[in-house]
Amino acid sequence: MGQDKILVVEDEVIVARTITRQLSQLGYMVTGTASSGEVAIAKALETHPELVLMDIILKGDMDGITAAGYIREQLDIPVIFITAYGDDHTLERAQVTQPFGYIIKPFTIKDLRIAIEIALSRHKLERALRDSRNQLATVLNSMSDGVIATNERGLITFINPSAQRLTGWQEEEALEQNVSDILRLFDDVTQTDIENPFTKLIKQEEAPELGEFTSLIHKSGRKIPIGHNFAPLKRGSYELIGAVIVFWDISERRHREFLEEALHKEQELNRLKSLFISTVSHEFRNPLTVIQTAVELIDIQGTKLTVTRRNTYLKRIYGAVQYMEKLLEDVLFMGRAEAGKLMFNPVFINLEQFCRELVEEFRTLNHHHHEIIFTSNCQQTDAPVDERLLHYLLRNLLNNALKYSPHGGRIEFNLSCDLAEGFVTFQVKDQGIGIPETEQAQVFDSFYRGSNVKSIQGNGLGLVIVKRCVEAHRGVIEMMSQEGVGTTFTVKLPLYLPSEPN
């Protein structure tokens, strides 16, 4: 049992001492006791407990419900009410403060333990969910593209800074307004206004077809050529809850390119943007659904929840959060690469030591019992590389080799140097599912996933990241693969800096 800190708020001294003793028996640390709401708030501010056990009837002018409301809202500390009063009026008042539990006196130490464990677990899960949502909001707000989301009635519920800049409408002006009033579109070919595309999207639940030459009418009246993508927002598979549009300024490209070339590039950008929306929303929806379902099950089962079952739910939550963190890391990496902000800072490192440490890291985390064989044929193992980018590169190659190989499969990881040619070579070879021959030209395309991966998890960004890292080093990457036999990736990086003689 961890030393979670608990504050006891109880106006009866004997009861407070009994609860304190029971908590100590259960392995919790009692940060203090209080008999009034004012003292409870002061001690919560002073000791920062993980949980507060709160009696409803307290000494003084402030009762437990009022104190709990302040502690929950201002300090984000979960509260469990302990009281002898279980009438409807008391419960109704208590529910306003969103308590994490409600125990009626008298109670047993088992009742206390179960209520505390559920409350602490639920609070951790809610915080993880809130952090994930905040991370997603950060990604959206940092995008150079404009993003607008609506509810099922077409009223704006979200507009990021880029969308505010492109439309000329500030957030406080745009929220709860009809999207057709904020996002006014114009067809540059027919020279006519475009009917609100959200109407068709919400009614037919499919992305509307707009012309390639579409402009956004700024609040000031000027026209901005834009690229765009629409997609429905759904809860589950069927319930439509709104729509989202991603759009971006293409003025410079419109001026710079010939009509045919501009049309071709716009179609390609539209495809990638659409794929980004569908892929990322899908990849986030699955772990968020896991988190939501686990929280609901914990809440529904309440005191009937066994420790084994609770641990199962927590394991699912932690796995989902880790998956979303990895996805966010990949998306942010690609964002920096696409924006030309991928920094390359080479330093001399011992490549053999670096590779051996990486292999050891994978052996520690490998739960599939794969065999990783590392060999080095380098006389000179020091080379100038960006250690962070090299870690991205090799980690993704080894992770793919493990992920797409059967349990017990053998992974060969080779390091060699050619001093005459001035290259260091990394080679990762697996005996996995391989890549279909007709699809091998697409392996470095964003969001590409082989048709034979089946239910194996992935987001289609790993090899794109690998290629960006290789390019940053001015190296080359080659691939050989046969479906059902395995895949070999060979990466060659310069042994010397461009200005350094070999």
Based on the domain organization, do 398 and 445 belong to the same domain? yes
Q: How confident is the model at residue 268 (pLDDT cuts 50, 70, 90)?
A: low
Joined together, the tokens standing for residue 90 give 């008391």
Question: Is 128 inside any structural domain?
Answer: no
How far is Cα 98 from Cα 111, in angstroms, rounded to an integer? 20
Going by their DSSP bridges, the two strands 156-159 and 101-104 should be labelled as: unpaired
How far is Cα 278 from Cα 273, in angstroms, rounded to an integer? 9
pLDDT at 480 over 90: yes
How far is Cα 299 from Cα 301, in angstroms, rounded to an integer? 6
The dihedrals phi and psi of 32, each to the nearest 5 degrees, come to 160, 175
Q: At 123, which amino acid appears?
A: H
Mean pLDDT, rounded, of the chain: 81
pLDDT reported for residue 502: 41
pLDDT at 56 over 90: no
- In terms of Cβ atoms closer than 10 Å to its own Cβ (0-12, 13-18, 19+), residue 5 is middle
pLDDT at 123 over 70: yes
Domain boundary among 90, 107, 124: 107
SS3 of 64-108: the string is HHHHHHHHHHHHCCCEEEEECCCCHHHHHHHHCCCCCEEEECCCC
pLDDT at 12 over 80: yes
Q: How confident is the model at residue 459 (pLDDT cuts 50, 70, 90)?
A: low
Based on the domain organization, do 198 and 83 belong to the same domain? no
Q: Are 251 and 422 within 8 A, CB to CB?
A: no
**Lowest-confidence segment of 140-149, 306-315, 412-421 by average pLDDT:** 306-315
Based on the domain organization, do 76 and 165 belong to the same domain? no
Based on the domain organization, do 70 and 148 belong to the same domain? no
Question: Is 315 inside any structural domain?
Answer: no
Based on the domain organization, do 488 and 354 belong to the same domain? yes
Indicate the number of domains in the chain.
3
Question: Is 436 inside any structural domain?
Answer: yes
Domain boundary among 256, 289, 316: 256
Instruction: Over range 385-409, report the average pLDDT.
Output: 88
Domain boundary among 217, 233, 256: 256
Rounded to 10°, the helix 88-95/64-75 angle is 20
Kindly report the CATH number assigned to the domain that includes residue 355.
3.30.565.10
Q: Could you tell me what percent of the chain has a pLDDT over 90?
A: 19
Kindly report the CATH number assigned to the domain that includes residue 24.
3.40.50.2300
How far is Cα 143 from Cα 383, in angstroms, rounded to an integer? 35
Based on the domain organization, do 11 and 56 belong to the same domain? yes
Based on the domain organization, do 77 and 207 belong to the same domain? no
Q: At 54, which amino acid appears?
A: M
Rounded to 10°, the helix 307-338/259-301 angle is 160
Range(s) of the domain holding residue 484: 347-494
Task: Supply the pTM of this predicted model.
Answer: 0.41
DSSP label at residue 391: H
Kindly report the CATH number assigned to the domain that includes residue 214.
3.30.450.20
Based on the domain organization, do 91 and 156 belong to the same domain? no
Question: Is 316 inside any structural domain?
Answer: no
Strand order in the sheet with 223-235: 156-159, 146-151, 239-249, 223-235, 214-217, 184-187, 192-193
Largest CA distance in the chain: 86
User: Reduced to 3 states, what is the DSSP secondary structure of residue 219?
Assistant: coil
pLDDT at 277 over 60: no
Question: Is 430 inside any structural domain?
Answer: yes
